[in-house]
Structure 1
Amino acid sequence: MKDKSETVYQRLTGKGIFPHHFAFTLLMPFRNIFLSPKKLIKRLELKVDSNVLEIGPGPGYFSVDVAKAIPCGRLYLFDIQKEMLDIAKKRLEKRKISNVEYHLSNGFEFPYKANHFDVIFMITVLGEIENKEEYVKEIHRVLRKNGTISISEQFGDPDKMTIDEINELFAKNDFELYKKYGSKNNFTVNYIKL
C-alpha cells in the first residue's frame, strides 16, 4: 500500500503535466485562496467581445467565469490532454455556455491564424512546457499587436517559474511587461505584444 500512496503523491507533486486522473483536485474551492476566477478576470482586463485563448485549462476551473465575462467574444480552450478538455466541456455545457471552442494541443504549434487573439492566459502551465522559447514564439504569432499574454504562477506548483525567468523569456521575444499582481510566490504578470 505504501508504494501506491507514494506513486500517487509523486504524480500530484512531481514536475511535468498534471495528470488528468486528479483533475477533481483542480476544481476544489480552496484554489480561490491563491487566485479566484473573479480576481483573474480583473487582471485579464477582458472586453465583452474579446477573443481569448486559455492554454492548459485543465478541467475548466477558470473557464466558466471567463466565458461568461465575454458574452460577445469567444473562449478557446487549448490543452494537451483530451481528458481534461472533455471534463471542461461537460462543465461548460452543463452551465449552457456556448461561446467556447475546444482544441487538442500537440504541444508545439497552435492551430490558429496569426493575430487572432486579444488575450492569451495560462495558469501554472508555462513551467510544464518543454521548449518554452518556441512556444512563446507561437504565442507571439497568434496574439494581435498590443494584445495581452497573462502568466499566473502559484505557490506549491513544482514547475513554478520566477518572475525574473518569465520576464527574461518574454522580453527576448518582443513582449513588454505591462502589469504585475501579487507577491513573488503567487503572482500574475501581463505582457503586451509589441
Structure 2
Amino acid sequence: MSKREKKDIGGRLAGKGVFPHEMAFTLLIPLRNMFLSPRQLIKRLELNPSSKVLEVGPGPGYFSVKVAKAIPDGELVLADIQQEMLDYAKKRVDKRGLTNVSYSLCNGQTFPFPDEYFDRIFLVTVIGEVENQEAYLKEFLRILKKGGILSISELAGDPDKMSTTEIKALCENAGFTLDKIHGNKRNYTANFRKE
C-alpha cells in the first residue's frame, strides 16, 4: 500500500464519509461496549424470536452475531455498499454456525426487498455517512412492515454523528413517528415506528 493510499484511508477514518473497509478490524474492539453493547441494542430493538431484521451498514458484524442469535426463528439480512464489509461479517457469522443470516450488496439508493418485508431495520453510526438520506428513508418506509421499527443509533466519537434533533426531523419528514429515545445525547438509539 502506497503512502497516498494510507493517507486516504486515514482521512476517511477520521473524517466524514463511508468508513474504510481496510480499517474494519477497529470496529470489533470490545471497548465499543462502553458506548453500545450488542445486548443493549437487542433490548432496544424489541425483537421477538421470529423477527425479520435488516441491518444496514453492518461493518464486520459487531452486532450481527448477537442479533442473529436473538432471532433463531427469524431472519437477519446484512446490507452494505462495500462487498468487503459483507465478507468480513459473513466470516464472523459463519464461524458461529448461524444459518438465519443473508447478505445484500446495495447501491446506496434502493434496497432489493419486497414492500413491507421487515419488522425491524437498524443502523449503528451509519446514517451520517449516507449521501442521500432521504432516498434511504423512503426505501425504509417502503420495506418496513406497518408497526415496524426503524432504529438509528449514534455514538460519541463518530465524525458523522447526527444529533437527536437532526435524526428526529429527518425521520419525521420521511413519514416515521418517534417512538422512543434510549440513552443520552452522546450515545443514543432513536426508535421510529411506521404507522
TM-score computed with the length of structure 1 as normaliser = 0.96
Could you tell me which residue of structure 2 aligns to residue 168 of structure 1?
169
Counterparts in 2 of 1:4 and 1:189: CA distance versus 1, 3 Å = same
Alpha-carbon separation, structure 2, partners of 1:8 and 1:77: 24
Alignment of structure 1 residues 16-35 onto 2, 5 Å = 16-35=17-36
Could you tell me which residue of structure 2 aligns to residue 15 of structure 1?
16
Alpha-carbon separation, structure 1, partners of 2:61 and 2:116: 24
Report how far residue 12 of structure 1 moved.
Answer: 1.4
1:69 aligns to 2:102 (yes or no): no
Alpha-carbon separation, structure 2, partners of 1:47 and 1:41: 10
The amino acid across from 1:191 in the alignment is: F
Could you tell me which residue of structure 2 aligns to residue 106 of structure 1?
107
Could you tell me which residue of structure 2 aligns to residue 91 of structure 1?
92
SS state at 1:185 partner = coil
Runs of 4+ in 1 over 3 A off after TM superposition: 1-9
Report how far residue 9 of structure 1 moved.
Answer: 3.5
Alpha-carbon separation, structure 2, partners of 1:32 and 1:91: 18
Could you tell me which residue of structure 1 aligns to residue 150 of structure 2?
149
The amino acid across from 2:11 in the alignment is: Q
Specify every segment of 5 or more residues in structure 2 that has no aligned partner in the other structure, as ranges: none
Identity of aligned residues (%): 57
Specify every segment of 5 or more residues in structure 1 that has no aligned partner in the other structure, as ranges: none
SS state at 1:68 partner = helix
Alpha-carbon separation, structure 2, partners of 1:79 and 1:2: 27
The amino acid across from 1:100 in the alignment is: V
Moved more, 169-178 or 16-25: 169-178
**Per-residue Cα deviation, 1:69-114 (whole angstroms, up to 9, x for no partner):** 0000000000000000001001100000110010001000000000
Could you tell me which residue of structure 1 aligns to residue 82 of structure 2?
81
Alpha-carbon separation, structure 1, partners of 2:3 and 2:143: 46
Alpha-carbon separation, structure 2, partners of 1:21 and 1:79: 15
Report how far residue 185 of structure 1 moved.
Answer: 1.3
Alignment of structure 1 residues 28-67 onto 2, 5 Å = 28-67=29-68
Could you tell me which residue of structure 2 aligns to residue 129 of structure 1?
130
Could you tell me which residue of structure 2 aligns to residue 116 of structure 1?
117
Report how far residue 188 of structure 1 moved.
Answer: 0.3
Counterparts in 2 of 1:5 and 1:163: CA distance versus 1, 3 Å = same
SS state at 1:172 partner = helix
Could you tell me which residue of structure 1 aligns to residue 140 of structure 2?
139
Alpha-carbon separation, structure 1, partners of 2:5 and 2:105: 30
Report how far residue 10 of structure 1 moved.
Answer: 2.0
TM-score computed with the length of structure 2 as normaliser = 0.96
1:189 aligns to 2:195 (yes or no): no
The amino acid across from 1:91 in the alignment is: R
Q: What is the Cα-based RMSD across aligned positions, in Å?
A: 1.5
Counterparts in 2 of 1:142 and 1:5: CA distance versus 1, 3 Å = closer
